[in-house]
Chain A
Amino acid sequence: MALRHHFKTKPFGVSVRNTSVIGWLLASPLSLVLLVFLVAPITMIVVVSFWGATEWSIYPAFQFDNYAFLLTSDVTYRVFLNTLKYAAITWVCTLLIGFTVAYYLAFHIRSLTWQIALFLLCTIPFLTSNIIRMISWIPFLGRNGIANSTLISMGVIDEPLEWLLFSDFSVVLAFVHLYTLFMVVPIFNTMMRIDKSLIEAAADAGATGWQTLWHVIVPLTKPGIMIGTIFVVALVMGDFITVRFMSGSQSANMGRLIQNDIALLQYPSASATAVILLITVLLLIGTLLRFVDIRKEL
Chain B
Amino acid sequence: MRQKLDLELVSLTKRYGGTIAVDAISYHFYAGTYACLLGPSGCGKSSTLRMIAGHETVSDGAVTLGGRDISQLPPAKRGTAMMFQNYALFPHLTVRDNVAFSLRMQGVDPATRHARAGEMLELVDMTSLADRLPAQLSGGQQQRAALARALITKPDVLLLDEPLSALDPFLRIRMRAELKKLQRELGITFVHVTHGQDEALALADEIVVMNDARIEQAGRTRAVFEAPKTAFVARFLGSHNVVSIPEGLVAVRSDALEITSVDGAKLPGTITNIEYQGTHVALTAAVPGAQEVTALLSDKDFFGNPRELGEAIGLDWEAEAAHALAG
Interface residues of A (CB under 8 A from B): 195, 197-198, 200-208, 211, 215-216, 219-220
| Chain B residues closer than 8 Å to A198, beta-carbon distance | 88, 90
What are 11 sample pairs from A and B whose C-beta atoms fall under 8 A apart? A195-B88, A197-B88, A198-B90, A203-B75, A204-B53, A204-B54, A204-B102, A206-B76, A206-B153, A207-B105, A215-B104
Closest to B50 in A: A200
Cβ–Cβ contact B84 & A211, under 8 A: no
Cβ–Cβ contact A201 & B90, under 8 A: yes
With A198-B88, A202-B90 already in contact, 4 other A-B pairs whose C-beta atoms are closer than 8 Å: A201-B90, A204-B55, A204-B76, A206-B76
CB distance from B61 to the nearest CB of A (A): 21
Closest 8 CB pairs of A and B: A206-B76, A205-B102, A201-B88, A197-B88, A219-B92, A207-B105, A204-B75, A197-B84
CB distance from A197 to the nearest CB of B (A): 4
Cβ of B101 within 8 Å of any chain A Cβ, yes or no, is yes
**Among B84, B91, B105, B150, which residue has its beta carbon within 8 angstroms of that of A200?**
B84
Cβ–Cβ contact A220 & B101, under 8 A: no
- What's the interface size class on B, roughly? 20 to 34
Cβ–Cβ contact A205 & B88, under 8 A: no
CB distance from A150 to the nearest CB of B (A): 44
CB distance from A183 to the nearest CB of B (A): 21
Cβ of B106 within 8 Å of any chain A Cβ, yes or no, is yes
Cβ–Cβ contact A206 & B90, under 8 A: no
Closest to B55 in A: A200
Cβ of B81 within 8 Å of any chain A Cβ, yes or no, is yes
Question: How many Å lie between the Cα of A87 and that of B84 in the bound state?
Answer: 43
CB distance from B164 to the nearest CB of A (A): 17
| Chain A residues closer than 8 Å to B88, beta-carbon distance | 195, 197-198, 200-201
Looking at B74, B81, B86, B91, which has the most chain A CB atoms within 10 Å of its CB?
B91
| Chain A residues closer than 8 Å to B77, beta-carbon distance | 206
Question: How many Å lie between the Cα of A208 and that of B85 in the bound state?
Answer: 22
